[in-house]
Amino acid sequence: MLTLDVQLDDVPGFNEMSELQKYDIAIAKIAKEAPIRICKEERVSGAATLGRAIWHHVPATYGGKELWHSVSHVTLGFDKVVKHGINSIEKEIAERLKKAKTPDEKEILFSMLNAVNSLRVWHGRYLSALKDVKPDIYSLLLKVPFEPATNFHEAVQSLWFTFAFTRLCGNWPGIGRLDEILGDYLKNDLDNGILTLEEAREILASFFIKGCEWIQSKPPTGSGDAQHYQNIILSGIDTEGKDITNEVTFLTLDIIEELGISDFPISIRINENTSEELLSKAAKVMRHGGGIVAVYNEPLVIKSLTDFGYSLDEARRFANDGCWEVQVPGKTYFKYVPFDSLQILLEDTLHLSSGPVHFDSFDELYAAFKSNLKKKIEQIYSKVVKRVEGKDRAAGWNLNSGIPCSVVSIFEEGCIEKARSYLDCGPKYVVISPHIGGAPDAGNSLYAIKKLVFEEKKVAFDELMMILQNNWEGYEELRQYVMNKYTYYGNDDDEADEYTVRVLNDFAGIVLEFNTRCPVLFPPGVSTFGRQIEWAPYRAAVPFGRKKGEILSGNASPTPGTDITGATAVIESYCKADLKKQVNGAALDVKLFPSTVEGENGIAALSSLIKGFIKLGGFFMQLDVVDAEVLRRAQENPADYKTLSVRVSGWNARFVTLSREWQNMIIERTAQGI
């Protein structure tokens, strides 16, 4: 990564060009100039070697300045490339260009052809470099990715080379359903004696090892490395409802277990028919720690999507966007809009900073909170409408036509047909999802107010507001009472869980009221993705005893330290919400003590925990097996723990690459027994 980018300063008339023209020149120059990297033992080739791409930018500069952010939170249509080849995409673009009616259509289609041609140039450079040093890979690249793959090795090379090119251009796409893309190729090769399983293992292991190429030896600390969204989905059913679990499913888990590679967060689609063999294998990988493997409740996710309006075929194709938000791969533009529901309670409803308001009853308080929650959703929705109103082109709406991204657009269904880019409403589905954060904290706060003020009457409402304004100073006894007397969300207590469940269900209901009012899909989701850290300084003290500035709940998980009765209780509490309504996803983070998953009994217990999660109606669960004491030692002696990986939120990261704040957040999550 010593070469950061290509420079465009020598391009004549650059400032007079359109953004697409500038972009086309940049992508062509990246393809011509990016360093070629070939490793002695690799079994697939292609490397994203420009360092600025690591930071989510197109790696091209003018006057020393970056020109464009790149694209992430998307899983591209790599399956189409493997099965049909890039030539088929190029043909589609050329045919559509013949029908282009406007200058805008022609410009974007020419830009897409430039992206294909740039890939062809980069491909040619690799052919030249490989011919004498790696003749086996050279022979593969004579065909793929431009022609359809015909065997497993070709399929892996086709997938990797295309993926690597999108990354070379700065994008961070998810990979999608790896076993569905590659499974038939491997089965055919094994059945016909073309390849042994061990040979296939070496090929696929090379794929995973090459996925670590963006990991730096001494990265700056922050929210962690390895968060480039190269997520993978395994198992589940196909569009016809048939189980796709195959040799690639187990081979992937074998490789991850052996090598401990955490750079590809893996999610397994689990249903009522998932085999004990797969459950056991998943449990074995999970108990190594690192948070590498998570699980989706496949039947619930599919029902959620079909209830929302997707066809059954499309719903069955679901993958994630690179974190865990659900989308149809290769067909979806996606953006999420996070907000802090605790702040809506503390400031918009209680007005703790500006001067508290009075409520005579809990019902009056909750009605005001719900009204403010709806106002927040209306604000988000109105911004969406403003971005699509009054910009009538072919489809009558657009989102952001100013940022070019043709390298992404050619792999998204709809972009070629509409002659519109990924960022200009090209894909078949355009999704903007409001994401609620802090729901467990808001629920716990509402519960504490109801108990303390309106039921037990231990303190008057106005007095409690004054106490919160003063950060509980002088009221330590009452604070300890609130923290220790009451049971909160995450302990399978119906009374305590009711308020978080109510917040989540009401949020989803409000959001779903707005869907279908304009062409943008508007599904609800639940996440923080670590934003509880950045929100903390702006939050007042909370009614359930925590002081101003404390880091509270993440995603749909309990507030740290409030869940005290085990992992099964956490799951029970979370599943009381109607999670089918959280169409874009609702992540539950569970941290387990290593001792609880030791031996064969531990594997059986972890498998049962997953089955219980599915049966109870969970949506998505991120399990991590980690000892807080080990993490504390890693804080003090980072050089001894450089490869220690943890699940952060929608991604994994090496623990030592997290800032102290992020490390403490991981440590403070409640570790559970099963």
Q: Report how far residue 553's alpha carbon sits from residue 443's, in angstroms, rounded to the nearest whole number.
A: 11
What is the four-CA torsion angle of 547, 553, 559, 564, rounded to 10 degrees? -150
Average pLDDT value for residue range 184-198: 98
* pLDDT band per the 50, 70, 90 thresholds, residue 220: confident
Neighbours of 2 (CB within 10 A): 7
Q: Tokens in use for 193?
A: 């004696």
Is residue 435 within 8 Å of 527, Cβ to Cβ? yes
pTM reported for the whole predicted model: 0.94
Neighbours of 3 (CB within 10 A): 13
Is residue 297 within 8 Å of 246, Cβ to Cβ? no
Segment 392-402, tens digit of pLDDT: 444 444 555 57
Is residue 434 within 8 Å of 380, Cβ to Cβ? yes
Segment 358-382, tens digit of pLDDT: 999 999 999 999 999 999 999 999 8
φ, ψ at 222 (rounded to 5°): 175, -125
* Residue 395: predicted pLDDT: 40
Collapsing DSSP to helix, strand or coil, 392 comes out as: coil
Q: What is the largest CA-CA distance in the chain?
A: 83
Q: Report how far residue 360's alpha carbon sits from residue 449's, in angstroms, rounded to the nearest whole number.
A: 12
pLDDT surpasses 90 at 262: no
* Residue 611: predicted pLDDT: 97
Distances (CA, A) of 244 to 107, 247, 458, 566, 614: 40, 10, 58, 33, 19
Segment 82-137, tens digit of pLDDT: 999 999 999 999 999 999 999 999 999 999 999 999 999 999 999 999 999 999 99
Is residue 554 within 8 Å of 665, Cβ to Cβ? yes
pLDDT surpasses 80 at 551: yes
Which of 284, 283, 303, 77 shows the shortest CA–CA distance to 180? Answer: 77
The continuous run of DSSP H or E covering 526 comes out as strand 525-526
pLDDT surpasses 50 at 417: yes
Top pLDDT among 531 and 459 is at 459
Q: Report how far residue 352's alpha carbon sits from residue 344's, in angstroms, rounded to the nearest whole number.
A: 11
Average pLDDT value for residue range 281-288: 92
Average pLDDT value for residue range 303-316: 98
